């Protein structure tokens, strides 16, 4: 089954599962295929490719893409009779939600901020502006760049 999938999409072996929206190439970890998590990761990257996901500007767009991709994984897992772990999907999505809510909460007053561009947020309540780091795998850092004292 994997063979078909790997041939149907532009898949190349690599060190991690990923989808490059610029080239349309999916990288996969050969030794993880056949394992539940590996199957899921492959289907997930294929879903991004199928749905034509591109780069995003706002966190909520990213979350929407992740939700859509995982829904596609659920459908495809039935189609290709691949085993998946739905709890893992929920874990992945809640990690994203937590990451997003940390980035968007105002460092001064905890109010929910508005995202101005991919790294800058603004709080309507206390007029603080902050910048966040852009690494999803790192702890969220918020740096105040403007505030009313």
Minimal distance, residue 2 CB to Zn ion, in Å: 19
* Footprint of Zn ion on 35-94 (CB under 5 A): none
> DSSP per residue over 41-70, as a string?
HHHHHHHHHHTT----SSHHHHHHHHHHHH
**CB-wise, 1 or 112, nearer to Zn ion?**
112
Instruction: For residue 125, state whether it binds Zn ion (rule: CB under 5 A).
Output: yes
> From CA 47, how far away is CA 70, in angstroms rounded?
8
The stretch among 4-12, 75-83, 117-125, 141-149 that binds Zn ion (CB under 5 A) is 117-125
Binding residue for Zn ion, selected from 109, 116, 144, 145, defined by CB under 5 A: 109
Instruction: With H, G, I as helix, E, B as strand and everything else as coil, classify residue 18.
Output: strand
**CB-wise, 50 or 108, nearer to Zn ion?**
108
Q: Are 55 and 103 in contact (CB under 8 A)?
A: no
- Total residues binding Zn ion (CB under 5 A): 8
Q: Nearest to residue 134, comparing CAs of 118, 112, 146?
A: 118
Interface residues with Zn ion (CB under 5 A) are 106, 108-109, 111, 123, 125-126, 128
């Amino acid at each position: 089954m994997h063979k078909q999938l790997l041939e149907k999409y532009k898949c190349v072996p690599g060190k991690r599962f990923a989808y490059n929206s610029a080239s349309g190439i999916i990288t996969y970890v050969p030794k993880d295929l056949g394992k539940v998590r590996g199957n899921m990761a492959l289907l997930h990257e294929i879903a991004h490719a199928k749905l034509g996901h591109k780069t995003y500007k706002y966190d909520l767009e990213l979350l929407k893409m992740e939700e859509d991709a995982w829904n596609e994984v659920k459908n495809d897992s039935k189609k290709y009779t691949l085993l998946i772990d739905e709890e893992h999907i929920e874990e992945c999505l809640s990690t994203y939600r937590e990451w997003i809510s940390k980035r968007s909460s105002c460092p001064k007053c905890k109010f929910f901020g508005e995202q101005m561009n991919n790294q800058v947020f603004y709080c309507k309540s206390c007029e603080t502006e902050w910048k966040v780091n852009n690494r999803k795998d790192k702890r969220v850092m918020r740096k105040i760049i403007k505030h009313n004292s």
